[in-house]
Structures are given as C-alpha cells and as structure tokens.
Amino acid sequence: GIDTILDALKRFAPAFPIILAIEGASNILSVVGWYYSFDPERRPGLFRLQIINFASLPLSGALPTGQAGEVLKGNLLRGHAEGGDIVSSLILYNYLHVITTTMVMAGGPILALILGGFSLKVSLILLAVSLGIVVFMLVLGVALVWGMFNRVAALLARLPIKALRSDALLDKARGLDERLGAMWRQRR
C-alpha cells in the first residue's frame, strides 16, 4: 500500500541526493564525450549539447528502448550542425555509451565471484552473458570503422524494394562511413 511506499521513500531519501549527483555527473561527462565526437571545425557548443541532452532525457526514460531521445537530440541539433555530423556523432556517442556500460556491467559478476553472495553458477552465467555482449560490441566497433553502413546499404539495394535502390541512400551511407572512419583515424 501507500504507507509501505512512503516508508521506503523515507528510508531511501538520504541516498537520493548522492544518486542524483552521480547521475548528473554521468550525464554531463557523457555529453563531453558527445561533444568530442564532432569534427572540431564544425562542433556545436558544449552548453547547447548539454541542454539538448537534458531535454531528451525525459523522452528517453518515458518510452521503450530510449531511442526516441536520440531522435529528439538530432532534431534539436538541426541548424547547428550538418545532418551527417549529427547522425555520425549520435552513432558514436551511443556506441561508446553502450560499450562502457557493458564493461562496467561485466564488473558485477566478477565482484560476485570474488565476494560471493550469488551461487557460482549464477555468477558464471552473468559473466558469460556480459562478456558475450562486450565481444559483440567490439565486433560492432570494428564493423563501424570498416564501413558497415555502405555495405549494408549495398545489400539492401539488392532487395526488390524500389525505395532501397536509391543513389542518395548509398551516398548517405558512404558519407556516414567516411565520417566515422575519419573520427577513428583522427581522434581515437
């Protein structure tokens, strides 16, 4: 009932500012990473990116998968950065967010193995799943650097769907691959 919920909130209240500060710092530092994913000559302002990020958080949290917030970020950046720069920066930003989160997540099962608290079987299963995700993300990173979007667009162009046989789509995919590759070469 409501009394149980209120009691739990009262017990949790002292930790709330600490958790909020950690989450705020995490978001601010995450946007600093997003800022550096843009080409230095065409970079939007850091403050603008921070405001856009904070504006997108409620939408990301309210809808499944959180990806609607990324669409909102892209739309709010229109006029402040080129479309290809926006898309490539958001791909890199989200890739780095997922891989770093996954690496931290892999630390949980390792701690469980060291400190106990879970059965060995559960800890090993969680560790295997975490490491599997890390490996998948590393393979995805290699695919991003090697021009994944152009290859996918070329494969899609072979399908019997007229909209997918667009030269403009292939050009955009090529441009995206070029931007991501340039980011990797220039700002590892």
Q: Give the tens place of pLDDT for each residue, 172-183.
A: 888 888 888 877
Q: How confident is the model at residue 46 (pLDDT cuts 50, 70, 90)?
A: very high
Cα separation, 111 vs 37, whole angstroms: 32
State residue 78 phi and psi, 5-degree precision: -55, 135
Q: Give the tens place of pLDDT for each residue, 67-117.
A: 778 888 999 999 999 888 888 888 888 888 888 888 888 888 888 888 887
Which residue type does 160 have? P
DSSP assigned state of 166: -
DSSP assigned state of 14: G
